Amino acid sequence: MDISDQSEHRVKIYTDGACSGNPGPGGWAAVLFWRDAKKEISGFVEETTNQRMELMAAIRGLEALKKPCAVDLFSDSAYLINAFHKRWLVSWQRNGWVNSKKEPVANQDLWALLLELADTHEIVWHKVRGHSDNVYNNRCDELARAEILRAKG
């Protein structure tokens, strides 16, 4: 089934990750839109990095989908978006998960999860400006930071 033409399976996901220190406590968040429905999800990781939280936000947003969907995923993370747009993931896999500096690719465990999810859904990756005028990216940032603050008590 070609899901890209069926609006009933088209979803928009906005994501963001945050970290207090790098590494340090981190939060991730996603805002999902399907038809007229909106769902906000977020979570906390005790010791992590900003990059991992950006990836985790995308992973958790995609994992929240109950069936294969056509997804427009929006992120302010150049790290996340460029891995797909510039085909870094293809190169990393071809080179045995070694980057251009001949070092092991960071966050390989999360990239592997994202690749599995990308095989399940038809995803268009969109880069948005962070901390700018995108209301949903800003909302994700608020949610991710709130997770960190809540954990700090």
Per-residue pLDDT of the chain in tens (153 residues, 90 and over written 9)? 344 445 668 999 999 999 999 999 999 999 999 999 999 999 999 999 999 999 999 999 999 999 999 999 999 999 999 999 999 999 999 999 999 899 999 999 999 999 999 999 999 999 998 878 899 999 999 999 999 999 887
Token pair for 97: 């998960």
CB hemisphere CA count around 117 (13 angstroms): 24
Tell me what pLDDT residue 69 has.
96
Residues annotated as catalytic (active site), given as ranges: 16-17, 54, 76, 131, 141
Q: Which residue has the tokens 């996603």?
A: 30
Tell me what pLDDT residue 133 has.
86
Contacting residues for 95 by C-beta, under 8 A, at least 6 apart: none
6 vs 10: CA distance, rounded Å: 7
